[in-house]
Structure 1
Amino acid sequence: MLAARRRPSQEFQMFRNESTEQVAEPAGSSRSGSRRRAWTVTVLLVVFMVINFGDKAVLGLAAGALQREFGISAEQYGVIASGFFLLFSLSALAVGFLVDRIATKPVLLALAVIWSLTLLPVLGTAGFVVILVSRIVLGAAEGPAFGVANHAMQKWFPDAERNVPAALLSLGPSLGVIITAPTLTWLMIHFGWRSMFVALIAVGVLWAILWAALGKDGPIGAETAQPRADETSPAPETTVSTLRVLATGTWIGSAVAVFAAYWSLSLLIAWLPPYLTTGAGYSESETGLLTTLPWVVGALAVVVQGAVSQRLMWRGVSGRWARGGLGGAVMIVSGVCTWAFVQVPAGPLKLALMALGLGISGVIFTVATTACGQVSPARRRGAVLGAFVAVYSLAGMIGPLVAGRLVGAAGAAPADGYETTFTLTAAIVVIGGVAAVALIRPERDAARLHARDVNRLR
């Protein structure tokens, strides 16, 4: 009877080892060497995400030149821009399942090479069809990037240490704006628009070479993992299915919250600049500078959130509050600030509210990926994160389209359309924050998955 009572707790510990914390180091390796490799891989993955943004953004920077040189109309350009998302979600989901079965290193290498190859056709005698096909292929190759990169990172860090590296990965879009946008613009001004594509191709190839030499899959969750002397034996193959993980409150809350944040992010990219010029009365030169403010604030917020969450978890605070509670509260503040910034006149207060409202909701990306990793067995994590990306990326298509309808419906008073757009965005972000606080409970959901797993095995 005593043994029977202890069995669930012992199996739960085994489940935790398999899903988040089973770390195996090769014989003769040092802990410091393993940590160096973990951070080397993390830095490479951060650069990977920066390149990801640069490849995504270069079309917008070169839009005018492409339209003039290849005779592309505004309507055709809109189709090209939307075509990027045609296979984005499907690819994220499919590759997510793939990396549960094969190593992440060759997958990431293939993605980076494809990115560079899709930029090549634009350097020649291109046109509408060629550019459209290249963007569709690029979108298919970029869809899995965030999920696979996080899956690769989580193989190197136990659960309690994932918040900071996950935060660094989430900095990719912000660093992409801060680094690649002005750099690529400088290249275009001095060497022509094709130089931007050449530079991105070269950087992509260089990253692929470095990744081939230095990249490596981590030991956490590896099927061949062997425990150190002070660790519990690794768990047997879990019977927890991917669908059961996707049905947990943690996954649903994470997907809803990040969908809301991605909605806000897509408007930040596509609609904030025209709002500042036509809706708020700022000049184009002022707008170019002001649009970077939310990205800078967002980058700082992500780093601070990652550090705070990690410290809370080291002190024994549950993932519900260190991740879901903290991240959800930040999103609620973000939504309130988004609503407020369109209500006040132009000035420092408006800019501060804009930067906070559109910048800080991005912290939920770190929260959600680490929470999903916490509840998911390692052998299911690729598919779980792939499905997560597939759902939230839909906001990248829907958000800008809805904004366009609302602004267009305002007719001669575009400011009213923008106010409606950002008020709706504020409400969506608040709902996402509430979902994060209410639903992200990784310890509870992991325990429930484990209990069902035990009952099934009995």
Structure 2
Amino acid sequence: MDLSATRSTAARATTGTPGAGRAWLITFLLLAFMLINFADKAVLGLAAKPIMHDLHLSPSQYGLLSSGFYFLFSVSAVVVGFVSNRVATKWVLLVMAVVWALSQVPVLGGAGFGVLLACRVVLGAAEGPANPMAMHAAAKWFPNEKRSLPSAILNMGSAIGVTLGAPLLTAVIVHYGWRWAFFSLFAVGMVWVVVWAVLGREGTVVDTAAPTPADEPAVPYRRILLSGTWLGGFAAGFAAYWTLALLTAWVPPYLENGLGYSVSTTGTLVILPWAALAVFNLAQGAVTEWLMRRGVPSRLARGVLGGVAVGVAGLAMLLFPLAGGAVRLALLTLAFSLGGIVFAIVLTVNAEISPVRRRGAVLSISIGLITTAGLLAPYVTGRIVEAVGYTPAWVVAGVLSVVGGLLAVLFVRPERDARRLGLRAG
């Protein structure tokens, strides 16, 4: 009996393929989950000026408040990743969303700096695993060759969350005060919890290009995390997340305090990078899937594409402080949007080099370490702004992105690393 032929045949089959309609319903429920996730993050930046005024905060104190969201973000992402190996993702996501909603409530009751910081720490701990858990849940509904588009759609949740949420939250802030903006997110979060409890399901896809869990090699985490694909993806993801953290925490106050725009105008302008990110994410998913169907290797369709995007965003970051008017806004939009496509790419290529039994933990470790950039970026930027202004802070972000993008182009090679780890035939 030809065992290699048998394994090849099995590798092409999808175990327990679910209906396409149910798969896409789950995908769009997860999209709503990610939408709320990023609205929760963005509200602090949108309310930065009144919060700093009411609580008498310096830029470095506001930076600490923004970084507080990430104090337990990375740790919880890793811990929950291991939990997801044993607990159905439906229930993991449900508990996370309940905590998100409840963490908004104390802000309404006259919370000062300490309570607000504590609420942001709790919120960050519950939101840390959001992206990898959503990706892990979606991966159970799609085979590998069809995951790029749903992954990109889930990453659009960040852009859509702010694009839809920014004007609405800004209107609440202007007319009712910043505390009510936080409470409105509690209400939206609880609606999602009810809908997910009724409609959420666990997927049944095992894989299409790898051995079944029973036949998989026992690959140590160390080998996965020291592979070129993981390290290159981490470098690009860290740089892109540094930029994303600044977009959430510091771009709104920069538009108001640095460029002199009003609160309402800022609420509109801040949509531009997020709207562009939504377009770029959707385009990346469609282009990558198109290339993969035509036999283009994942190294090019995912690794090189993502690395170039992060590098170009870094160049735009270095240039926009030197420009003015519409050109500055265009470059700012590009700088804070294009690199964001790498998050879906990083998680997808990491799924390629991870056994099914390790995938949830590997994705969570990846996000947990990448998002340490969120812990550092707002506070470091606050110190820089307080000392020498905004421009040097943008230079730091730009250099990180150029270097991170280059490393991704050079080292992300998922097919090669999957073979080395025994997950693909030689």
Give the TM-score of the pair, scaled to structure 1.
0.84
Paired residues of 2:239 and 2:373 also in contact (CA < 8 A): yes
Whether 1:300 aligns to 2:279 is yes
Q: How many angstroms does 1:10 deviate by?
A: 5.5
Amino acid paired to 1:373:
A
Mapped contact 2:107–2:183 kept (Cα < 8 A): no
Residue equivalent to 2:20: 35
Gaps of 5+ in 1: 26-30
Distance 1:87 1:322 in 2: 33
Residue 390 of structure 1, CA deviation: 1.0
Partner of 1:175: 160
Q: Take 2:348 and 2:4, find their aligned partners in 1: how far apart are those partners? A: 25
Counterpart residue identity of residue 197, structure 2: A
- Cα deviation, residue 242, structure 1: 2.4
Tell whether 2:415 aligns with 1:443. yes
1:246 aligns with 2:225: yes
Kept in 1, the 8 Å contact 2:46–2:252? The answer is: no
**What do residues 201-245 of structure 1 show as CA deviations (whole Å, max 9, x unaligned)?**
2211111111111111111229xxxx9xxx997752531122222
Percent identity over the alignment? 45
Q: Residue 329 of structure 2 corresponds to which residue in structure 1?
A: 351
Contiguous gaps of at least 5 residues in structure 2: none
Larger radius of gyration: 1
The answer on whether the counterparts of 2:216 and 2:355 sit within 8 Å (CA) in structure 1 is no
Aligned-partner residue type, residue 345 of structure 2: V
Report the equivalent of 1:28: none
Of stretches 421-430 and 189-198 in structure 1, the one that deviates more from structure 2 is 189-198
- Cα distance change, pair 233–371 in 1 and its aligned pair in 2 (3 A): closer
Deviation at 1:180, TM superposition (A): 1.0
Distance 1:388-1:140 versus aligned 2 partners, 3 A rule: same
> Does residue 23 in structure 1 map to residue 8 in structure 2?
no
1:105 aligns with 2:90: yes
Q: Return the alpha-carbon distance in structure 2 between the equivalents of residues 309 and 121 of structure 1.
A: 43
| C-alpha RMSD over aligned residues | 2.9
Contact 2:45 2:249 in 1 (8 A): no
8 Å contact from structure 2 (residues 67, 377) kept in 1? no
Indicate if the aligned counterparts of 2:213 and 2:356 stay in contact, CA closer than 8 A.
no
How many Å separate the matches in 2 of 1:118 and 1:402? Answer: 25
In the alignment, the residues of structure 2 paired with residue 238 and residue 86 of structure 1 have an alpha-carbon distance, to the nearest angstrom, of 35
2:307 is the alignment partner of 1:328: yes
- 1:89 equivalent in structure 2: 74
- 1:151-201 C-alpha deviation (Å, 9 max, x unpaired): 111111111111111111111221121111211222333444443233222
Mapped to 2, the partners of 1:400 and 1:292 lie a distance apart of: 19
Report the counterpart of residue 271 of structure 1 in structure 2: 250
CA distance in 2, matches of 1:274, 1:123: 22
- Provide the C-alpha distance between the structure 1 equivalents of 2:117 and 2:257, rounded to a whole number of angstroms: 29
Q: Which amino acid aligns with 1:46?
A: L
Q: Distance in 2 between matches of 1:123 and 1:407?
A: 29
Task: Please point out which of 118, 122, 128 is paired with 1:137.
Answer: 122
Aligned ranges 1:51-450 → 2 under 5 Å: 51-62=36-47, 73-74=57-58, 78-221=63-206, 235-276=214-255, 279=258, 286-344=265-323, 346-410=324-388, 414=389, 418-450=390-422
**2 CA distance for matches of 1:255 and 1:267?**
18
Count of residue pairs brought into register by the alignment: 424
Distance 2:304 2:406 in 1: 9
Contact 2:38 2:161 in 1 (8 A): yes
Using the TM superposition, name which of 80-89 and 183-192 deviates more: 183-192
Q: Deviations over 1:308-363 (max 9, x none)?
A: 0000001111110110011112222222222222223x122222222222211111
Distance 1:190 1:274 in 2: 19
Conserved in 1, the CA contact under 8 Å of 2:101 and 2:185?
yes
Deviation at 1:374, TM superposition (A): 1.4
Q: Is the 8 A contact 2:45 2:252 kept in 1?
A: no
Distance across 2 between alignment mates of 1:277 and 1:382: 40
- Aligned-partner SS, 2:422: helix
Give the 3-state SS of the residue equivalent to 1:23 in structure 2: coil
CA displacement 1:268-301 (0-9 Å, x = unmatched)? 2333344445555666665443332222222111
